[in-house]
Amino acid sequence: LATWAGIMVVMLLLDWFLPFVYNVGFPGFQASVLVWLFLGGLVAIENWDSADAGESAAVMGDE
């Protein structure tokens, strides 16, 4: 019984995080792709400063 409940939760979350065209339709899929691209861009922007600081430390020999 617990296995069945776990499988249902995983299936629900998977459809929510990775929607397919046949689940939400093409407009919903397009909206999901835009959200994922936006979130990926935010992660990239967040990591720019730490990546630049690591490169400058490596150039100066401070690592």
Task: Dump pLDDT digits (tens) for 2-49.
Answer: 898 998 888 877 766 776 667 677 787 788 888 889 989 999 999 887
Instruction: Residue 22: give the domain boundaries.
Output: 2-60
Residue predicted with more confidence, 8 or 54: 8
How many domains does the chain fold into? 1
Task: Say what the pTM is.
Answer: 0.50
For 2-21, letters b (16+ CB in 10 Å) and e give: eeeeeeeeeeeeeeeeebee
